[in-house]
């Protein structure tokens, strides 16, 4: 490891690692931004993998059919499917809580877009997920 004994070599290595970290971060950021754009055409993102508790829906039409059903008048079995469909749609969208403004910025700090609030995307009877 003689090549690391030089201060210039260490600085060069640090710069390379820094550039790699920036590239990785920008790739992760691009994936999240593309998820938001998928919602614009009404389609949930294909990146979301259902958990064991979620129902499998045969297609997008069935997913949206259940998601927009009336929860109050549904049977217990339908309620589970309705909530699972809503969860799947909500988790595949990028949004901000109604009391928070979130902006997507580029590498220069310029605002590219502002994420919509939950109430702007989903019907009023849908509940936003909670951390508590």
Query: Which range has the worst mean pLDDT, 17-26, 55-64, 107-116, 123-132?
Result: 17-26
Distance separating alpha carbons of residues 13 and 18, to the nearest angstrom = 9
Q: Is the pTM of this model over 0.75?
A: no
pLDDT tens for each residue of 2-32: 555 666 556 655 644 544 445 444 444 444 4
Q: For the chain, give every domain's residue range.
A: 1-46, 49-91, 95-132
Distance separating alpha carbons of residues 12 and 30, to the nearest angstrom = 27
């Amino acid at each position: 490891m003689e090549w690391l004994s030089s201060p210039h070599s260490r600085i060069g290595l640090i710069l390379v690692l820094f550039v790699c970290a920036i590239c990785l971060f920008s790739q992760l950021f691009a994936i999240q931004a593309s998820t938001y754009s998928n919602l614009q055409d009404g389609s949930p993102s294909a990146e979301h993998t259902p958990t064991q508790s979620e129902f499998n829906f045969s297609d997008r039409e069935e997913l949206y059919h259940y998601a927009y059903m009336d929860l109050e008048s549904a049977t217990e079995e339908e309620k589970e499917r309705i909530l699972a469909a809503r969860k799947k749609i909500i988790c595949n969208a990028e949004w901000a809580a109604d009391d928070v403004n979130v902006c997507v910025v580029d590498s220069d700090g310029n605002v590219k877009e502002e994420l919509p609030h939950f109430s702007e995307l989903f019907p009023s009877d849908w509940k936003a997920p909670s951390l508590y």
